[in-house]
Amino acid sequence: MALSALLLVGLGTGRALWAAEAEAPVVVGSKNFEESRLLAEMFAQLIEARTGLAVERRLNLAGTQVCFEALRSGAIDLYPEYTGTGLASILGEQPAKGPDGDAAATLARVRKVFLERWDLHWLAPLGFENAYELAVRRDLAQRDGLRTISDLVPFAPRLDAGFGYEFAERPDGLPGLRDAYGLSFHSVTRMQQALKYRAAAADEIQVLDVYTTDGRLLTYDLVVLEDDKGFFPPYAAAPLVRGATLERHPEIAGALSLLAGSLDEESMRRLNLRLQEKGEEPAAVAHDALRSLGLIGNTDGTGGDATSPRGEVSFPTYLWRHRAPLGRRTMEHLALSGAGLALGVLLAIPLGLALERRRRIAEVVIRAVAITQTVPSLALLAFMIPLLGVGPRPAIVALWIYSLFPILRNTYTGVRDADPRAVESATALGMTPVQVLARVRLPLAAPVIMAGVRTAAVLTVGTATLAAFIGAGGLGEPIVTGLQLADTRMILSGAVPAALLAVAVDLALAGVERLVSPRGLASATPAGGGAAGTG
């Protein structure tokens, strides 16, 4: 009965998450870096204030391709993008040269192609560019007379570089720079944005990629090198919106047009600095920015967790200050994990019982299911986006897939290896094979099956932290954001509750195991044990 209650809770929470998506609010997405989250929050608050439409936020999506695929498939309705990224990373084209300059030509090109191919609309740019640049330590620039990227070329073989994960792979990043300038560094390390600045300050790296609107440029002693060959395309920031969304809600374009030309690089650096170094929440910073522009009133329209800056506080104090959002994220995490595990139990246990009757194909089927364990979690989540969009739905399906193998393996092994003497006695008494399975094999296998369920539960709770990369929420949210900000307390505020939740779920399932295990086996089979294991 307890296991049934657990299944009902998991399925109920999953169904609630599914139903929430069915209401179809306007879904605003963002990539997983500070400025993208800030702009998305500004879009969301402006739409709420000016149109009265309900807005759902899907922030922290894992990079350009995930965001774009989510938009193209209809999983989100809009997100902030940069024209140069659209041209180079999505279209795979080189910067266009036009009579009105690179910025105008690039905007015209992406507008035309995105509209023709995907019915996606680039609205009016916000007024600033967030371009890639290379930066070096000031002492190095002064010593070697570095002013341009070409000046860097002869010194690069003895320098260590630190670049972002996307920059290291994008055609408008390191690969293109190597072709355009012939750059070759002593070593290249890939790291998060915040860590690059700290590594440069400690002289662990001497060269890094930066964004022109990065607030850390105001606090770290770096020299930005001139792109003397004009390699980097223009990166004008603008809302990228689905045509179907604008047809349904044309007022969105009117609301977002109020931001056209209203922001410049200097103001964006100051806003970004509040996020990056002062630790303020995007919702609060976005509200202040919109209010300063006269686009919303003085009422609190943050729509998020407008908590105080990080400051120098202890970890327990930090947890207490953030108890409300952490409590909500914990419930989201439990809902995702519970729904995925419940679906796994509903499929894997009946399949394991069926395979016990077809032993010739059992190992083939089980090994086929085991292949799912070799797919990297984040890759599986990304594969789900074209089919299921972003949010809880693909996360639940991915967690369900990961939960199958340990439950299936233990179910099959448990019923197959049930006490032969008890099985022979039941058969001698005239029981049918189905009766032997239901009344003898299954009860005897219960501890082993529950060991598989407990293993799957712990794996599911841990894997659910990656759901934040596709906008599903949960305790992965502070982990992902903390990694971007190099904020240990923020990372731990997600990691510690996730670990405690895994322990709590395992203990709860241990109680269920004791309830379903035959009393005669209680003293012989240790909790969580079972001869089969999960391998």
Q: Is the pLDDT of residue 504 over 90?
A: yes
Confidence at 1, pLDDT banded by 50, 70, 90: very low
364-388 tens-digit pLDDT: 999 999 998 888 887 787 777 777 8
User: Residue 310's CB: how many other CB atoms inside 10 A?
Assistant: 16
Residue bearing the bigger pLDDT, 534 or 318: 318
pLDDT of residue 515: 85
Those residues with Cβ within 8 angstroms of residue 283's Cβ, 6 or more apart along the chain or in another chain: 41, 45, 302, 303, 304, 305, 306
User: Can you give 93-154 as a three-state secondary structure string?
Assistant: CCCCCCCCCHHHHHHHHHHHHHHHHHCEEECCCCCCECCEEEEEEHHHHHHHCCCEHHHHCC
Mean pLDDT within 254-271:
93
Q: Positive or negative, the Cα torsion across 159, 164, 168, 172?
A: negative
User: C-alpha distances in angstroms, 299 versus 268, 302, 389, 461?
Assistant: 23, 9, 33, 38
The domain locations on the chain are 24-128+235-309, 132-224, 324-521
pLDDT of residue 59: 86
Q: Is the pLDDT of residue 5 over 90?
A: no
Same fold, 24-128+235-309 and 324-521: no
User: Rounded mean pLDDT of the chain?
Assistant: 84
453-494 tens-digit pLDDT: 999 999 999 999 988 887 788 888 888 777 766 678 888 988
163-174 tens-digit pLDDT: 988 888 888 889
Superfamily of domain 324-521: MetI-like (1.10.3720.10)
Residue bearing the bigger pLDDT, 356 or 423: 356
pLDDT of residue 459: 92
Fold exhibited by the domain 132-224: D-Maltodextrin-Binding Protein; domain 2 (3.40.190)
Q: Is the pLDDT of residue 420 over 90?
A: no
pLDDT of residue 16: 47
CATH code of 24-128+235-309, in short, is 3.40.190.10
pLDDT of residue 312: 60
Most confident of 38-47, 198-207, 299-308: 38-47
Residue bearing the bigger pLDDT, 503 or 75: 503
Residue bearing the bigger pLDDT, 382 or 396: 396
Confidence at 407, pLDDT banded by 50, 70, 90: very high
